[in-house]
Amino acid sequence: MSWRFRRSISLGKGVRINVSKSGIGFSVGKRGARIGVGPRGVYTSFGIPGTGLYTINYLNKKKKQVSSSPNTQINNVSITYPPEILKKMPSKAPHYLLFIASFILLFTYTPLGILGFIIFAFYFYALSKKPISKAVSFFEKGKVAYNRGDYKSALDNFLKVIEIEPDAISLYKEIGIIYIHLGEDEKANECFEKYLFKYPEDLEAKTHYINLLIKVGQYQKALELMNLLPEEYKNNLFVINAMADCYIELNKPDMALAVLEKGPMRKRKTDTEEMKVYRYLLGTVYRKLGQKEKALKQFQKIYVEDSNFLDVAEKLKEVEG
């Protein structure tokens, strides 16, 4: 059993000094409802007098952030504060302490409490005029707009953040994703390029960037990026298909086949979209290399599972003819 020590000293008019093992704190209020500051920060306390039941809510308690996996879908991107802005944001602790001290003084020495609130108001006003505060305000507006699907408004606000804080490079990832939503692929590419120059290990951003490069026809650049991916990532069927597709577009079917041979060639079922794409690419490569029987076999496997997949029905007729 662990022993705890706590003692409250009343200063009158609802003001108390609370002494415990953790430190010293102050609180003000009446039975059942109090506001105070202690070793763990600013808090409010509510309870039912005489029952021993109460609840404490710490106002400066940080919310847990949910991390996203590298395969997160674009629509599910979680917008978080850029680290370049976080390290410049002033601490909220002085605000809370000044506010609580002023509130307590209203009950003990009113003129000093009023002076404290005046100082708090001036301090808050001066803080709101600082560039970092404006950047935070624009970021918050952009985040709200993004979450409700208003990508144009989100973009305008995030670009204002960059204008105020040019070193907030990590925000270019979110801006790039917004450009994807808006169908502006070239601008999205520029944003991911800036972001990855500083954060080259972000596989999620690399995946978006590679997809965009393929989409706009920059196959060689996409291949260079994919060849730099970790080996375990390059063995992913999505990456194998993407690399093979780039080699096909560059008219290098032999290189495409070498990549596809690393995939699940012996798998019998064509039960996923990625497997359908894989067999389609295999069939295309075999056909380009003059291996019609092998090409026909791949297209037939797709047709059995999904006769409407891409133009597989036409491919079958062309190979058979």
Question: CA-to-CA distance for 172 and 191, rounded, in angstroms?
Answer: 5
Reported confidence tier of residue 218, pLDDT bands at 50, 70, 90: very high
Percent of the chain past pLDDT 70, that is, above it, reads 67
Task: Give the rounded distance of the alpha carbon of 102 from its chain centre.
Answer: 38
Higher pLDDT: 286 or 128? It is: 286
Question: CA-to-CA distance for 165 and 159, rounded, in angstroms?
Answer: 10
Residue 190 lies in a domain: no
Q: Is 272 helix (H, G, I), strand (E, B) or coil?
A: coil
Q: Please give the average per-residue pLDDT across 108-122, as a whole number.
A: 72
Residue 131 lies in a domain: yes
- pLDDT at residue number 124: 61
Residue 317 lies in a domain: no
pLDDT of 21 above 70: no
Q: Please give the average per-residue pLDDT across 209-222, as a whole number.
A: 92
- pLDDT at residue number 108: 74
Tell me the HSE value of 71 on the side-chain side, using a 13 A CA sphere. Answer: 4
Question: CA-to-CA distance for 252 and 309, rounded, in angstroms?
Answer: 24
The four Cα atoms 154, 157, 160, 164 give a dihedral, to 10 degrees, of: -110
Higher pLDDT: 113 or 195? It is: 195
Q: What predicted TM-score, i.e. pTM, was given to this entire model?
A: 0.60
- 23 sits in the region (left: phi over 0; alpha: psi -120 to 50; else beta) called left
Residue 257 lies in a domain: no
> Domain containing 95: what range?
80-148
Q: Which residues of 253-265 are buried (b: 16+ CB within 10 A; e: fewer)?
A: bebbbebbeebee
Reported confidence tier of residue 29, pLDDT bands at 50, 70, 90: low
- pLDDT at residue number 127: 61
- Pick from 88, 120, 148: which residue ends a domain? 148
Residue 38 lies in a domain: yes
Those residues with Cβ within 8 angstroms of residue 266's Cβ, 6 or more apart along the chain or in another chain: none
Question: CA-to-CA distance for 301 and 213, rounded, in angstroms?
Answer: 30
Higher pLDDT: 293 or 27? It is: 293
Residue 113 lies in a domain: yes
- pLDDT at residue number 101: 73
Residue 287 lies in a domain: no
- pLDDT at residue number 300: 92
Residues 88 and 123 both lie in one domain:
yes
Q: What is the mean pLDDT of the chain?
A: 78
Per the listing, tokens 């039975």 go with 31
Contact, 197 vs 213, CB < 8 A? no
H helices of 148-272, in order, are 151-164, 171-181, 185-198, 203-215, 219-227, 231-234, 237-249, 253-260
Residue 72 lies in a domain: no
- pLDDT at residue number 298: 92
Question: CA-to-CA distance for 131 and 219, rounded, in angstroms?
Answer: 41
- pLDDT at residue number 53: 52
- pLDDT at residue number 107: 72
Counted domains in the chain: 2
pLDDT of 317 above 60: yes
pLDDT of 284 above 80: yes
Question: CA-to-CA distance for 320 and 2, rounded, in angstroms?
Answer: 82
Describe the strand order of the beta sheet including 41-48 as a list of residue ranges.
Answer: 6-12, 15-20, 23-30, 33-38, 41-48, 53-58
Residues 142 and 108 both lie in one domain:
yes
Reported confidence tier of residue 66, pLDDT bands at 50, 70, 90: very low
H helices of 228-272, in order, are 231-234, 237-249, 253-260
Residue 151 corresponds to which tokens in the numbers above? 């990508």
pLDDT of 261 above 80: yes
Q: Is 16 helix (H, G, I), strand (E, B) or coil?
A: strand
